Structure 1
Amino acid sequence: MENGELEKLLIKAYTQADYSGDVFGEFEAYVNPNEITLAYEMEYDSSQASGTTNSRMEFKKVKPGDMSLSFFIDGTGANGVKIDVQQRVEAFQTITGYNGDIHRPNYLIVAWGTLQVKRCILKSASIAYKLFKPSGEPLRAVISATFTDNSDDETRVALAQDESPDLTHARIFAAGDNLPMMCYQIYGSPHYYLDVAEANGLDNFRNIAPGTRILFPPLEK
């Protein structure tokens, strides 16, 4: 944002799960939200030994997070922009809702200033009409929407910077790397290089071409 210019909340829709291809459409909020709620949930497995009263909570994963926001659509012209409220509501529904061409809701990017959820989908939405003309035409509406993180597992793990050996890791083999040393960095021991080589179908672990993507799966020690 430069020279005090208003940064408007923008929702972009895609039809491809990997967010490739052309943008299906965009929705721009003329009046930005005054509150955004980010929610996330941890998932645990509870295990309890025989004869005990307390359960042990074993961490499993961080579930995809939610982002909830509400914003106004004002058709009175009070903010200097005269808009058709119902038309803007329908535009929001078209961008975020069900797309018959792909038989599911669109894949979304919701961005506003430094707060950005690069990959998400609409979880729920409600529209409250607040003001009407005598003819019944709406002049104001409030859209309340909740979006759920739609990042793929590999992206989510990368963002979380997980380094635990009980998670699958992906590394790009670079010049000067060697498999035993990479195993030491991930598993704490170089002795798992044959297991990793087998998991990746590598016939010669001493002759890995730079740029090769190698998966380091969870291994029992």
Structure 2
Amino acid sequence: MTTTGELKKLKIIAYSDPQFNNPISDIKEFITLMNPEKYTFHYKIAQDTTQAPGTSSPAPRFAAIAPEELELDFVFDRTGVIAGKETTKNGVIEDIEHFRKVILDYNGTEHKPNYLKIAWGSLLFKGSLTDMTIEYKLFRPDGTPIRAIAKGKFKGVVEDELRAKQQNNQSPDLTHTRIVKAGDTLPLMSFRIYGDSKYYLEVARVNKLINFRKLQIGQKIFFPPLQKQQ
């Protein structure tokens, strides 16, 4: 896998609709000052613990897969030590106001904060803010903040049509996509998707893989619906 080595900054774009078709034109995208050292995903499985009549205890049953959640930290700095972010009269106040306008502003059409697309490298997250704290770390003698860290939590958004397909395991329209990681093989990845590794040859054919034994880390593999394998 080849990389250009070009520095790309994490950016957040605000949208007015959950289909992410309409970026909000009067809000400039937010580009982070420093790329995050890490980001964290949380996944939850909702279970139905309703107790059946005549039983002593409920047996947890799968109910749904909750939307994924993302945690990110953002650094704001106007101390003058970072190139391109010189000191200003108001310190980091204007930077944080722009940040708040993108991720926290109330969307009058949807009656909720903006829908957000967060992009950086292989990270592409669509969702909205659920929680944010801002810690001001450094000040001028007059109290103007010149360094701050914002901690944001975001909940993923899945369009209604796609959610319905995801909850229907036999949907002919849903295709899984996976990124190859270290140690992955096509039979192993097929087993994870289908519960059986025997479909790996069909997956290789769909992806036009000449040598499926030499997958590249970072390579994108498409897994068509199981019923099309039969």
Instruction: Evaluate the alpha carbon distance shift between residue 162 and residue 67 of structure 1 in structure 2; reply closer, same or farther with a 3 A threshold.
Output: same
Q: Which amino acid aligns with 2:147?
A: R
Q: How far does residue 33 in structure 1 lie from its aligned partner after superposition?
A: 1.5
Query: Which residue pairs with 1:184 in the alignment?
Result: none
Point out the structure with max Rg over C-alpha: 1
Q: Deviations over 1:63-119 (max 9, x none)?
A: 1121011121111122212254111100011001133543421111011110111x2
Compare 71-80 and 137-146 and name the one that shifted more: 71-80
Higher strand share: 1
The separation in 1 between residues aligned to 2:52 and 2:17, in whole angstroms, is 46
Query: Which residue pairs with 2:69 in the alignment?
Result: 66
Aligned with 1:144 (options 135, 139, 151): 151
In the TM superposition, 1:23-172 aligns within 5 A as 23-24=24-25, 25=27, 26-50=29-53, 52-83=55-86, 84-99=91-106, 101-102=108-109, 103-117=111-125, 119-156=126-163, 158=165, 160=166, 162-164=168-170, 169=171, 171=173
Determine what percentage of the aligned residue pairs are the same residue.
Answer: 33
SS in 2 for 1:69: strand
Compare 89-98 and 72-81 and name the one that shifted more: 72-81
Query: Which residue pairs with 1:18 in the alignment?
Result: 19
The structure, 1 or 2, with the larger RCO (C-alpha pairs under 8 Å, 6+ apart) is 2
Q: Deviations over 1:174-210 (max 9, x none)?
A: xxxxxxxxxxxxxxxxxxxxxxxxxxxxxxxxxxxxx
Q: Which runs of 5+ in 2 are unaligned?
A: 175-230
Q: Which amino acid aligns with 1:33?
A: P
- Confirm whether residue 8 of structure 1 aligns to residue 20 of structure 2: no
Instruction: Evaluate the alpha carbon distance shift between residue 50 and residue 99 of structure 1 in structure 2; reply closer, same or farther with a 3 A threshold.
Output: closer
In the TM superposition, 1:141-220 aligns within 5 A as 141-156=148-163, 158=165, 160=166, 162-164=168-170, 169=171, 171=173
**Contact 2:75/2:149, CA 8 A, preserved across alignment:** yes
| TM-score in terms of structure 2 length | 0.64
Instruction: Evaluate the alpha carbon distance shift between residue 49 and residue 100 of structure 1 in structure 2; reply closer, same or farther with a 3 A threshold.
Output: closer
**Contact 1:34/1:71, CA 8 A, preserved across alignment:** no
Instruction: Evaluate the alpha carbon distance shift between residue 49 and residue 123 of structure 1 in structure 2; reply closer, same or farther with a 3 A threshold.
Output: closer
The separation in 2 between residues aligned to 1:139 and 1:2, in whole angstroms, is 35
| TM-score in terms of structure 1 length | 0.66
The separation in 2 between residues aligned to 1:120 and 1:8, in whole angstroms, is 19
Give the paired residue count: 166
Aligned Cα RMSD in Å?
A: 2.5
The separation in 2 between residues aligned to 1:89 and 1:2, in whole angstroms, is 32
The separation in 1 between residues aligned to 2:6 and 2:42, in whole angstroms, is 29
The separation in 1 between residues aligned to 2:107 and 2:68, in whole angstroms, is 26
**Contact 1:45/1:57, CA 8 A, preserved across alignment:** yes
The separation in 1 between residues aligned to 2:65 and 2:74, in whole angstroms, is 28
**Contact 2:107/2:114, CA 8 A, preserved across alignment:** no
Q: Which runs of 5+ in 1 are unaligned?
A: 173-221
